[in-house]
Homo-oligomer: A and B are copies of this chain.
Amino acid sequence: MPLNLEDIARLAGVSRSTVSRVVNQHPNVSARTREKVSQVIRDQNFHPNPVAQMLVTQRTQLIGIFVSQTATTFFNDQSAYFPTVIQGIADIANNQNYGTLLWLGSNDNESSQGSLYRRITHNRLTDGVIVVSASNSRQLVSRLVEMSVSFVAIEKPRDFADRVTYVTIDNVGAAHMAVQHLIGLGRRKIGTIAGPLENTDAAERLAGYHRAMHEAGLPVHPDWVVSGDFTAENGYTGMQALLKQGVEAVVTGSDQIALGALRALQAAGVGVPDDVALVGFDDLPAATNVTPQLTTVHHPIREKGAYATRLLLDLLEENIHEPQQIFLPTHLVIRQSCGALNVPTSVKVQ
- Report which A residues bind B (CB closer than 8 A): 2, 45, 47, 49-52, 54-55, 60, 62, 65, 72, 76-78, 80, 82-84, 86-87, 90-91, 94, 99-104, 106-107, 116, 122-125, 232, 259-260, 263, 267, 284-286, 289-291, 347-350
Q: Which residues of the partner chain B approach A45 to less than 8 Å between Cβ atoms?
A: 122
- From B51, B87, B94, B259, contact of A124 by CB (8 A): B51
Which residue of B is nearest A77, CB measured?
Answer: B285
Asked if residues B349 and A289 are in contact (CB atoms below 8 Å), the reply is no
Asked if residues B291 and A125 are in contact (CB atoms below 8 Å), the reply is no
- From B77, B107, B267, contact of A80 by CB (8 A): B77
Q: Which residues of the partner chain B approach A232 to less than 8 Å between Cβ atoms?
A: 289
Asked if residues B83 and A47 are in contact (CB atoms below 8 Å), the reply is no
Which residue of B is nearest A104, CB measured?
Answer: B90
- For residue A261, give the distance in angstroms from its CB to the closest CB of chain B: 12
Q: Which residues of the partner chain B approach A350 to less than 8 Å between Cβ atoms?
A: 348, 350
Q: Main SS of chain A's interface residues?
A: mixed
- For residue A265, give the distance in angstroms from its CB to the closest CB of chain B: 13
Cα(A83)–Cα(B73), bound, Å: 10
Name the 6 nearest CB pairs between A and B, nearest first. A78-B78, A76-B83, A90-B104, A77-B285, A51-B54, A47-B122
- From B60, B65, B101, B285, contact of A78 by CB (8 A): B285
Asked if residues A86 and B104 are in contact (CB atoms below 8 Å), the reply is yes
- From B60, B290, B349, contact of A347 by CB (8 A): B349
Cα(A286)–Cα(B77), bound, Å: 8
- From B55, B284, B349, contact of A55 by CB (8 A): B55
Cα(A45)–Cα(B50), bound, Å: 27
- From B76, B289, B349, contact of A84 by CB (8 A): B76
- For residue A98, give the distance in angstroms from its CB to the closest CB of chain B: 11
- For residue A107, give the distance in angstroms from its CB to the closest CB of chain B: 8
Q: Which residues of the partner chain B approach A47 to less than 8 Å between Cβ atoms?
A: 122, 124
Asked if residues B102 and A100 are in contact (CB atoms below 8 Å), the reply is yes
Which residue of B is nearest A65, CB measured?
Answer: B102
Cα(A86)–Cα(B65), bound, Å: 13
Asked if residues B289 and A259 are in contact (CB atoms below 8 Å), the reply is yes
- From B104, B286, B290, contact of A87 by CB (8 A): B104
Ordered by A's residue number, 9 sampled pairs between the chains whose C-beta atoms are within 8 Å are: A47-B124, A62-B101, A77-B286, A78-B284, A87-B104, A90-B103, A94-B103, A94-B106, A348-B350
Asked if residues A124 and B347 are in contact (CB atoms below 8 Å), the reply is no
Cα(A100)–Cα(B91), bound, Å: 17
Cα(A232)–Cα(B288), bound, Å: 11
Cα(A86)–Cα(B290), bound, Å: 28
Asked if residues A51 and B125 are in contact (CB atoms below 8 Å), the reply is yes
Q: Which residues of the partner chain B approach A72 to less than 8 Å between Cβ atoms?
A: 83, 87
- For residue A304, give the distance in angstroms from its CB to the closest CB of chain B: 16
Q: Which residues of the partner chain B approach A104 to less than 8 Å between Cβ atoms?
A: 86-87, 90-91, 94
Which residue of B is nearest A350, CB measured?
Answer: B350
